[in-house]
Amino acid sequence: MRLRPGLRLSALAAAIYGLGGLLLAWPLPLHLADAIPGDGFDGWQNLWNLWWVRRALLEPGGQLWHTDMLDYPRGVSLLFHTLNLPNGVLSLPVQELAGVIPGYNLVVLLSFALGGLGAYLLALRVLGQRSAPARAAALVAGAVYAYSPFHFAHLLGHMQVFALQWLPLYALALHRLLEVISAGRRIRRVAVVALLFLLLASLTDWYNLVYLTFLTAVWALWFAGCACGARRRLALVAIPATVLLAAVALLSPLLLPMALQASRADFMLTGEAHIVSLSADLLGLVLPQEMHPLWGDAVAVVADGFTSSTSERMLSLGIVPLLLAAAGWWRGGPRSRPFVWAGLVFVTLSLGPVLHVAGEVAHIGDRPLVLPVLALYRWIPFLAIARSVGRYAVMASLSVAVLAALGLRALIPILGRRWWLAPLMASGLVLLEFLPAPYPMSAPDTPAWYSRLSDRGSGAVLNLPVSWDRPQYLLHQTAHGRPLVSGYTSRRNPWSPVESYPGLQQLRQLGDDVLAFPDRDTFATIAEDLGLQYVVLDAYQMPGAEERTATETLADRLLGSLEPVHSDQRLTVYEVQPPSSDRPYAWLEGAWGPAGEGAHGQTRRQRCSDCEVWGRAGASAADFTLACQGLSPFVVRVVPGAVEPLLTGHPDCTILTSVSWSEP
């Protein structure tokens, strides 16, 4: 798609948006090499993503979409993980030259530069002019999109979301494609460009594929409705649909395994209640910037009543942009209609299954006010996996940005020769309204011991506590490069060793689970089989007294009289020793349901179609006693040195309550 004489101006615009984004996120420019923007949670997961992409692409034997560096030795699929591959590829040169933190901040810079540029070019195309007033209005549109509260909300750590530059670039290509089809001209080059941006957006975040599918449908139907002749109308629907199908076909090596996995197990579904809690609040779409230095605290008091977290509830479209967008809708004529319809559709989708206003579910009589999203999530396969529905608001923000440019362009002639005052005032008001400075920064807090770990064998590391997943462990792994027995991924991994092996289960639950708690020699046998070398207790990750006491007590029972090989104010490190004798134990295989509590306080796990319990005997024969809800306990004997399935022949065991073992 040729930019013609505007190429230099476009490059200048991208530079302005990039520099402006860094300044708005102050003090980020002072820490480009030693910290990342955000709250230090999911940001470390995305830092690991960049590190993993580099490792998988540049080191021998790497598997991009599967890693055994997490949940070792079983590993975990990264298909449902927010790997955001394009960001990893874009950061490779900087990672090689300066390290992973500068690589992360390069992605931040590009999200502002290219996000603003995409919205600018889209607005410029819709305005249909290359005059100075039109370019000035389009520049404001880029600022509305690139500096939106949505962008800064997810800059807290959601790289796959804040890298929002591919959305306006695809919208630009799609808009151009529909115009070319309407004019009856050749479409090949434009269709290829649209396909490219669709692939980049999808590989950055699977949510984007959903957003852009809806955008394509809305715009194709609108353009088809305005066209003359059945053949032209058919082309306006069929050609964009073909682009979508081509993208799905090219992504099918990833999408088909995902669909197969999602159809066989429901562990990725969080339920309608979770989707409702992550929906946008109607008030939140107009609430001022919650991170603002002047009025942020007052706004936060109101926003704290919403159902979602800070990063998911900051969805404001902006008061100034909405006023300009209203003028754009009023004065924009037919050019504004695709963006009006798209904005309405995506606002509705972001509101979720039921309407929230000021933190409360709106009711009609005694019934909650149900929105169309509920039907979509029940009727469209796999859509319920996309749980954070408030994120649809990013496409509403893009629509508002373009409509704001139309409105501003209509208002500019009022000032005559001083027309430049209108975009100057508008941009100033937008920047003032959206200002989030000072933006929180997170510096890496990796203890020095991890940097020396590469010289201490090659075994895996178990970080404690593991009662819930800490992304800081991923940060530490980028320093020591050793596999982790657990790991923080975007979806629960039911095959993780901490869900499946005795002792590790109890550390995960900080209490009982279905497998019996192992003695010290048994845990040493398990550790040897798993390749576990170090157990690391991190006091800074245990702020609660109950969690710390439970974790330390369980670790002491598993490790016994072992002396730590390293101890300081923060870390206590144990090196697991080989067992004095080979001991029996049982473990779970398959996507077992999470540990839950039965009617009588008994721990239970739901069995799936491919779920199994395996028993491993040691030097002697072992008897395994299994109890299932509603059935009498039964015993399976395993001969010395053998490994056997224990539930074979017991199809009626649908809920497992306990497994124990002994050497007769």
pLDDT at 537: 96
Task: Tell me what pLDDT residue 557 has.
Answer: 95
User: For residue 629, which phi and psi values (nearest 5 degrees)?
Assistant: -60, 130
Q: Which helix (H) or strand (E) holds 363?
A: strand 363-364
The β-bridge relationship of strands 532-538 and 460-464 is: parallel
Average pLDDT over residues 428-457: 92
Give the whole-angstrom CA distance, residue 603 versus residue 585.
Answer: 19
Residue 215 has pLDDT above 80, yes or no: yes
Global pTM reads 0.94
For CA atoms 572, 577, 579, 585, the dihedral sign is: positive
- Report pLDDT digits (tens) over 160-184: 999 999 999 999 999 999 999 998 8
Q: Is 356 exposed, middle or buried (0-12, 13-18, 19+ CB in 10 A)?
A: buried
| CA atoms in the 13 A half-sphere facing the CB of 195 | 18
| Lowest mean pLDDT segment, chosen from 47-56, 214-223, 375-384, 430-439 | 375-384
Q: What is the pLDDT of residue 386?
A: 74
379 burial (CB, 10 Å; 0-12 / 13-18 / 19+) is: exposed
Phi, psi for residue 496 in degrees, rounded to 5: -60, 140
DSSP state of 273: H
User: Does position 391 have pLDDT exceeding 60, yes or no?
Assistant: yes
Report whether 332 contacts 406 (CB < 8 A). Answer: yes
- Sequence-distant (6+) residues with CB within 8 A of 599 are none
Tokens of 306: 């919403």
**Gyration radius of the chain's alpha carbons:** 28
Which pLDDT band, with edges at 50, 70 and 90, does 1 fall under? very low
pLDDT in tens, 346-375: 999 999 989 999 999 999 888 889 898 877
CB 470 within 8 A of CB 484: no
DSSP for residue 515: B
User: What pLDDT does 649 receive?
Assistant: 86
pLDDT tens digits along 180-212: 999 888 888 999 999 999 999 999 999 999 999
Instruction: Give the type of residue at 241.
Output: A
Residue 417: the pLDDT is 86
Distance CA 638, CA 616 (A): 7
Question: What pLDDT score does 268 carry?
Answer: 63
Whether the predicted pLDDT of 454 surpasses 80: no
Token couple for 389: 């529905």
Q: Does residue 240 have a pLDDT over 50? A: yes
Residue 202: which residues within 8 A CB-CB, separation 6 or more?
Answer: 208, 209, 212, 247, 251
DSSP character string of 378-403? HHSTTGGG---GGGGHHHHHHHHHHH
Say what percent of the chain tops pLDDT 90. 78
DSSP H helices, 543-605, are 545-559
Cα distances (angstroms) measured from residue 330 to each of 324, 325, 337, 404, 425: 10, 8, 10, 11, 21
The whole-angstrom separation of Cα 122 and Cα 172 is: 5
CA distance 409 to 32: 37
The strand ranges marked E within 55-171 are 66-67, 76-77
Partners of 363 in the β-ladder: 368
The H or E element spanning position 604 is strand 603-606
Burial class (CB in 10 A: 0-12, 13-18, 19+), 446: middle
Token reading at 608: 């799936």
The CA distance from 502 to 208, in Å, is 40
Peptide bond into 465 cis (omega under 30): yes
Alpha carbons 206 and 65: distance in angstroms, whole number: 14
How many Cα atoms within 13 Å fall on the side-chain side of residue 77? Answer: 14
CA distance 204 to 191: 20
| pLDDT at residue 265, rounded to an integer | 67
> Nearest Cα to 466, choosing from 497, 491, 490?
497
Which region among 15-19, 294-298, 370-374, 428-432 has the lowest average model confidence (pLDDT)?
Answer: 370-374
Query: DSSP string of 28-65?
Result: GGG-TTT-EES-SSHHHHHHHHHHHHHHHHHSTT--TT
At 266 the pLDDT is 66
Paired tokens of 469: 């997943």
Return the amino acid letter for 439. Answer: Y
Residues 75, 32: Cα–Cα separation, whole Å: 32
**Structure tokens belonging to residue 516:** 């019996």
> Rounded to 5 degrees, what are φ and ψ at 12?
-65, -40
Helix or strand or coil: residue 607?
Answer: coil
Beta-carbon neighbour count of residue 509 at 10 Å? 18
Task: Report d(CA 111, CA 105) in Å as an integer.
Answer: 10
Angle, CA 515 vertex, CA 497 and CA 543 arms, to 5° = 60
Residues 571-591 pLDDT 10s: 999 999 999 889 999 999 998
pLDDT surpasses 50 at 382: yes
Which residues are bridge partners to 656 per DSSP?
Answer: 605, 628
Residue 242 CB partners (closer than 8 Å, separation 6+): 191
CA angle 593, 597, 602 (to 5 degrees): 115
CA end-to-end span of the chain: 76
CA-nearest of 617, 621, 661, 624 to 646 is 624
440 burial (CB, 10 Å; 0-12 / 13-18 / 19+) is middle
- pLDDT 10s digits, 244-267: 999 999 999 999 998 888 777 666
Write the pLDDT tens digit of every residue in 70-102.
999 999 999 989 999 999 999 999 999 999 999
Q: Are 658 and 514 in contact (CB under 8 A)?
A: yes
For 452-602, list the strands marked E by DSSP.
Answer: 460-464, 532-538, 566-567, 571-575, 585-589, 596-597
23-27, 53-57, 130-134: the lowest-pLDDT one = 130-134
Q: Mean pLDDT over residues 532-560, rounded?
A: 93
Cα–Cα distance, 173 to 178 (Å, whole number): 9
Mean pLDDT of the chain: 92
252's enclosing H/E stretch is: helix 230-264
Pairing status of strand 360-361 against strand 356-357: antiparallel
Write the burial class of residue 487 (CB in 10 Å: 0-12 exposed, 13-18 middle, 19+ buried). Answer: buried
17 closest CA partner among 105, 130, 120, 88 = 120
Q: What is the DSSP letter of 74?
A: T
